[in-house]
Amino acid sequence: MGEHPDCALVRRACTAFSEGDLDTVATLITSDVVHHVPGDNAISGHHKGRDACMELYRTMSEETGGTMRTELETVMCDGRGHAMAVHRLRAERGNRGLDMKNGEFFTIVGGKITDIDECAENIDALNAFWGT
C-alpha cells in the first residue's frame, strides 16, 4: 500500500523547503494559504497569502545564511484533509544556533496546502533565536 496523497504532499513540501527549493514550495500551496508561526519574535504571526508566506520563507533563509534545514521524522494524516509533520529544525543565525523538534499541522484542500499551524518544542529558544 502506498503513501496517502496528503502525506506525500507534505513530505514533498518539507523536502523542497529544506533544500531551498522555494519555487516548488510555491506550487504546493494555495494563493490564500496562511502560515501561523508561534512565539513572540521577528517572524511570529499569521502570514496570509502565498506572497506573504514566500516572503517569510525567503527571510528565514536569508537570516540564517541558508543554514535552515528540516529533517523530517514522520508525517501522519487523517485522510480528511489534515496532516501533521514532525521534524528536527536546525539553523544558525549570527552567534545563535537552533536545534529542536518542530511540528506543523497542515490543512489540505484540492491537493494543495491551505493552512500551516506550526508548533515549537521550545518557544523560548525559538524567540531567542529570531529576536524581536
Predicted confidence band at 132 (pLDDT cuts at 50, 70, 90)? Answer: confident
pLDDT at residue 55, rounded to an integer? 98
* 81-92 pLDDT, tens digit each: 999 999 999 999
Does residue 82 sit in helix, strand or coil? strand
Q: Which CATH class is domain 5-130?
A: alpha beta
- Any idea where the domains of the chain sit in the sequence? 5-130
* 40-60 pLDDT, tens digit each: 999 999 999 999 999 999 999
* 1-45 pLDDT, tens digit each: 689 999 999 999 999 999 999 999 999 999 999 999 999 999 999
pTM of the predicted protein model: 0.94
